[in-house]
Amino acid sequence: MVRAEQVRKSYGPLEVLQGIDLEIATGEVVCLIGPSGSGKSTFLRCVNHLETIDAGRLWVGDEIVGYRQRGTKLHELSDREVCRRRTDIGMVFQHFNLFPHMTVLQNLMLAPVTVLKEDKEVVRARALALLERVGLAAKADAYPRSLSGGQQQRVAIARALTMQPKLMLFDEPTSALDPELVGDVLAVMKDLAQSGMTMLVVTHEIGFARDVADRVAFFDGGRIVECGPAAQVVTDPRHERTREFLAAVR
């Protein structure tokens, strides 16, 4: 589903990604862990073409992110084509980014109806089913300001799923939440992982990474220092830098 080959990204003299190689199979859950500033979120944004890469190649499915290949040449996609490809990728950010003037149900229905031109009643039924799935069926007509942070994040997950994506990206989805609200969001993500959704998750929730992910990749200094089965990386890391990080966050 995702393949990165020697992906590099710089901001001025600062090279944030220094040659990332990573493959994610369809149905696989991969968690990216590591200190702040190590490149995890930047890599996630590159997968969705919210950031452009400076070197290397990045594929989602069989399409090169941001480009179309004709023969041996790459041609940059138009904004319209980039947006079309993004419809297959759901992304959940640290902050919920819900439209405050719309109800929960309206937030979920907006993109499928306006972007994909789907039938309103079909989308409405799907949105209500997703709200049921994330435990918020009773909040369909509520406005975001009346919800807790954890509830808003669950709405954000449901909103991304309403587009029926093939890949879900999570950028530290619990980092802005009070500790007592984290569990409900992680439970929704765990259910999603168990359903077979392909997921790439940037997280500081080490227990979640150990218990839910198929693999964990440890980022440091713009590189993947260690990548392997989740239980092995979290409980018996091979690299000294991984051990140092995990000892600190525990």
E strand map for 83-186: 89-92, 167-171
Q: Is 176's pLDDT higher than 90?
A: no
CB 44 within 8 A of CB 171: yes
Q: What share of the chain in percent tops pLDDT 70?
A: 100
CA distance 112 to 206: 34
Q: What is the mean pLDDT of residues 159-187?
A: 93
Give the pLDDT confidence of 188-235 residue by residue, as tens digits: 999 999 999 999 999 999 999 999 999 999 999 999 999 999 999 999
| Residue of higher predicted confidence among 70 and 239 | 239
Among candidate residues 170, 94, 188, the one with its CA nearest the CA of residue 132:
188
Q: Is 15's pLDDT higher than 80?
A: yes
For 1-20, give the DSSP string: -EEEEEEEEEETTEEEEEEE
Q: Is 72's pLDDT higher than 80?
A: no
CA distance 213 to 226: 15
Q: Report the mean per-residue pLDDT for the chain.
A: 94
CA distance 42 to 60: 16
SS3 content of the chain, % helix, strand, coil (to 5): 40, 30, 30
pLDDT at 196: 95
CA distance 106 to 108: 5
Among candidate residues 76, 96, 69, 88, the one with its CA nearest the CA of residue 1:
88
Question: Which residue's entry shows tokens 């959704």?
Answer: 197
The confidence band for 129, taking pLDDT boundaries of 50, 70 and 90, is very high
For 161-172, give the DSSP string: HHT--SEEEEES
pLDDT at 96: 86
Q: Is 71's pLDDT higher than 80?
A: no
Q: Is 79's pLDDT higher than 90?
A: no
Question: Which residue's entry shows tokens 């179309």?
Answer: 68
Q: What is the mean pLDDT of residues 131-159?
A: 96
CB 74 within 8 A of CB 67: yes
CB 14 within 8 A of CB 39: no
CA distance 154 to 19: 34
Q: What is the mean pLDDT of residues 94-103?
A: 93
Among candidate residues 204, 228, 199, 207, the one with its CA nearest the CA of residue 35:
204
